[in-house]
Every structure is written in C-alpha cells, then in structure tokens.
Chain A
C-alpha cells in the first residue's frame, strides 16, 4: 500500500499519505485526507472548456485570441500561479521574460517578504518533520491551521509522536495560540491562548522581548504582565520552538523588523524557528522559482532581459497606477481576493484566465482556458510551506490540458 500513496494538493501541507481507492470509473474512496482535501480531489470534471467572450470555442481559437492579446500588450501582467506546479510556474516565468511582463502573485500582499527572509537565510527555519520529531513549543501566531490546514496539528505540529517526542503531546509539547479571536486552533491550545486586540501584535512582540530579558512587559492594552512573563518563560525553556506565522500577524506588520527582533531575542535565549502558514499548495514554490530566476520572490518586471523589482510591480500597485495593459491570470481569482476598487482596474484591460475552475475572474475574462488541477489531474512537483519539495503523480485522468502545455503553446505561437 505504501508505494501507492498520493499527495493532496488541497493546501500547502501537501499531505503525502493519501490512499485512494478506485471504482470502475472514478475515485471510490479517499482515506486519510481531510474534508478539504477530499473535496479538492473530487473536483475533477469531464468537461473541457475554452471560452472567448464567455462563448465556447476550440483550443486553437482560444490560443490565437490569447496570443493576439499578449502581442498587443506592451506591459502584460502575469498573476497567480499559487496552485500551479513548479513546472508550470517556470514556464510562466519564461513566458514573462519573452513578453516583457510584470509578474506577481498574491504573496506581494501576504507572505512574500517572509519567504524572502527564509530563502535568504535571514530567519531560522525548519521542516515540518523537524517539528514533528523535536518541536516542544509551538506557537500559532495569527494563524488558524485547524481551519486553513486541517491536518497541520495532527500530522506535524502538535499531536503526533516523533522520534524525540515519544511520550506525546500532553506531556512533551506546548501549543500556544496568539490571535485576535478564539479560533478553532486557539480552542485546542486551551489555557495557552493569548488574545490580543487587532493590530496589537507588534506591542506583544516587544513585550515578549522585554519579558525574555526579565523586564516588565508593557502593552497599551494592558495585557497582564504576569501572563506575558509566564509565556516568555515557556519560550525561554524551549529546546526546539517554532512560530507558525499566519496572515493575521503579517497583515498587522508594516515591515518584518519586529519579527526579526523577536526571532533574534528568542534565539539568544533558546532555539526558535519560523514557518509561514502559506495557503495555496504551491505559493511558496512560485516565490522560490521566481527567486531562483530573478533574485526576487515577487513583484518583478522583465524588460528586454533586464529584471526590475519593486512594489510598483505588485499587482495592487500596477493596477492602481494602470501601468499594465493586459492580464494573464493563472489559477487565481483576483476579483474575489483583491479590494474591489483595485480589481475594478482589471475590467479596463483584456484578461486571459487559466485555471481548473470557473470563478468571477473567468466570467470577466476575454479568454478562459480550463486547465487540469495540479496534483489531481496533473503530475509535477510543488514546494510545501516549509520549503520541502514534494513530487506527485495525477490521481485521475483528464482531458483538460495542463497549464504547462498551454503556456508552452502560447510561447511557441508568439
């Protein structure tokens, strides 16, 4: 059985122990995956769709329309790719070079800077296996894996026995949740739930740093200093600590300086690692692949072989400034993820959308190409939230084209 395990691409945990029982035609039963994963793996559909102006066309027509839009564009935007395989991402980056595109993903308003700090070794990190085998103090800061990555606590971060953690979670691990509301994860953490007001993260960071060096920790919201000192003591005693940073923490930081301060203070006293709670299955892959190619994790502009980088090349800023004149959106739905005022600018430029499902973005697109679901209908590889490369084979067959294949064809046609 062991060799038949599949990988779930339902989230960036990329669980690699999924058993699939096949019926005569389709999947019969899926074992070990969570509900999100099961839904994801069963999303596959028969229908192959190419749309131009929301009307069905054939592959050739959709491609020629795509090529026309990209040829006419001076500064096309390539955006998304968080659910694409490494192979498709690399192909998209190549395409970006060829058409002098601006290329970005949603990490420019979330985990981009953290991933950059990790790949440039500015913050100490570790793998999820390390967490399972050694982790003793586990902090979920602004993250709620119980809802976003359902198997996080059971497969890696809290409940499992690990090589150096044989006696189990009750005795050997402390899980701490820091959040603005009592999430499902906070519920599991019980007494170790630190509730802070919205935007109170930086103050808590500095209070903790004070606490670590025995000073009286103060916050404007009067969090009981005794409790912060208690927490600081637990952190000080950690042999292998991990902070799983979530969007809740990132959104409340203007820059990463407080996080650097905290990690440094912690590592003076004990041993702490940081892992970002990346959402989509291969968002981290996009950051790393673009970094390998350009030295930047997002917000890049290619210009005749030169790489430019800066916040002005992020999706938000380039739409605000209206500097991009076409958009190729791959496996993403900016119409539902971006503020409406910014997404509105997208309506002024032709959109080509590629991805496995029909979304608000597909409806607004000039061209839509339905592609295979990475990891379900297509094989390849992706990078887990902790930077581990995970390869997978398709779980079901599909008639839908792979993103990689479509991108290659666009390249050729250009």
Chain B
C-alpha cells in the first residue's frame, strides 16, 4: 500500500500551490483521498524532469481495473470468500447488524460495502467506506481480518 509520504517523495516538493493546495504534502493527501488527480499538479504533468514521477503516480491513481473509485481493490485470485472482511467491516455491521454483522447472509443490502458473490468478495457502495470522504479514519477492518491479503487500498 502506498502512503502519503511515499507520494510526497515523488512530487516536485516546491510548494508552488498551482494545484490549489497549500503544499505538496497537502496535495499528496488529496491524492490519497481521491479529492484530486495527479493531473492537477501542473509542474508534475508538464515538466519533462518529472516525467517518470508523473507516470508512476498516474499509474498508482489510475482508476485501475477492478479498483473502485475509493481505491479499494479485491485481488480476486486470492480471495476465497471466507467473509471475514464482510463481517468485520464496521460499516457493514452498522448497516446490517443481524445479517452480515451476525455472520449470516445479508438481510439489508442497501448500504453494504462488502458481500460475497460466487465465492469472492465484491465491493460496492464504497462511498460508505470509512477510509474516504470528509470524516475519514484509518479503518483497516477488512485488511487485517483477511487471511490472504486479498484486499488492498491503492
């Protein structure tokens, strides 16, 4: 998983504010939360000396295949549908306490983030995820409960 510091290291570090943020570090954080895209840093995008960094960062934040808009990726080849993440996710528990929150099949699917389909976890309603949005916290419920590291945030 990438963190804001690693992203920062690849930025111009000039704090020129062209991206609309007060510093490169703030921009790195904005990238992590998907508030901005790499293209918003004009120096990075346009100056040849940052070409490598630009490509690297773009690939990290490219809405890559399978990745949801919040960056949650399920490695479907690894996931075997144990449901640990489904049952451990605090948002799932809050929205469906007697279904997935109690280890059972979903009873109320409207706001579930994670559910098992065809033996593999599927992510949806990702805007509900605690890692993103305004009041984000560093939730890792679905990551630490997975026996095979099948969930990743990019």
Contact = CB atoms under 8 A, between A and B. Distances in A.
Contacts of A30: 117-119
Contacts of B119: 30, 33-39
Interface residues of B, number: 27
A13 to B, nearest CB: 11
Interface string B57-86: 000000000000000000000011111101
Nearest to B97: A161
A35 B148 CA distance: 14
B80 A36 contact: yes
B80 A150 contact: yes
B88 interface: yes
A67 interface: no
Interface in B99-127: 101-107, 115-120
Interface string A1-36: 010010000000000011100000000011111111
A153 B82 contact: yes
Interface stretch (A72-80, A111-119, A181-189): A181-189
A20 to B, nearest CB: 11
Contacts of B103: 132, 151, 154-156, 159-161
Q: Name the prevailing secondary structure of the B interface residues.
A: loop
Given A159-B145, A161-B101, A185-B147, A34 B81 contact: yes
Interface string A135-163: 00000000000100011011110011110
A159 B105 contact: no
B93 interface: yes
B102 A150 contact: no
A168 interface: yes
A154 B117 contact: no
B84 A154 contact: yes
Contacts of B79: 35
B151 interface: no
Given A155-B103, A160-B103, A161-B97, A34 B82 contact: yes
A200 to B, nearest CB: 24
Interface string B16-58: 0000000000000000000000000000000000000000000
A173 to B, nearest CB: 12
Contacts of B148: 184
A159 B88 contact: yes
B11 interface: no
Contacts of B87: 154-155, 159-160
B114 to A, nearest CB: 11
Interface string A355-392: 00000000000000000000000000000000000000
A169 interface: yes
Contact of B104 (A39, A150, A155, A184): A155
Contacts of A162: 102
B137 to A, nearest CB: 14
Nearest to B116: A32
A46 B80 CA distance: 27
A18 B147 contact: no
A58 to B, nearest CB: 37
A168 B91 CA distance: 13
A188 B142 CA distance: 12
A33 B106 CA distance: 12
Nearest to B148: A184
Given A161-B97, A187-B147, A154 B83 contact: yes
A403 B133 CA distance: 56
A152 to B, nearest CB: 8
Contacts of A154: 82-84, 86-88, 103
Given A5-B105, A184-B147, A35 B84 contact: no
Q: Which of B83, B97, B117, B119 has the most CB of A within 10 A?
A: B119
Nearest to A5: B105
Contacts of A5: 105
A29 to B, nearest CB: 6
A2 B106 CA distance: 10
A219 to B, nearest CB: 28
B118 to A, nearest CB: 6
Given A38-B118, A159-B88, A151 B82 contact: yes
A37 B83 CA distance: 12
20 contacts: A29-B118, A30-B118, A32-B83, A32-B105, A32-B116, A33-B119, A35-B119, A37-B81, A132-B102, A132-B103, A146-B82, A150-B83, A151-B83, A155-B83, A155-B87, A156-B103, A161-B93, A161-B103, A169-B88, A188-B145
Interface of A: 2, 5, 17-19, 29-39, 132, 146, 150-151, 153-156, 159-162, 168-169, 184-185, 187-188
Interface of B: 79-84, 86-88, 93, 97, 101-107, 115-120, 145, 147-148
Given A161-B103, A188-B147, 20 more contacts: A2-B107, A19-B105, A33-B81, A34-B80, A34-B119, A35-B80, A36-B119, A38-B81, A38-B119, A39-B119, A146-B82, A150-B81, A153-B82, A154-B84, A155-B103, A155-B104, A159-B88, A160-B87, A188-B84, A188-B145
- The 6 A-B residue pairs with the shortest CB-CB distance, nearest first, are A160-B103, A35-B119, A38-B119, A184-B147, A154-B83, A17-B105
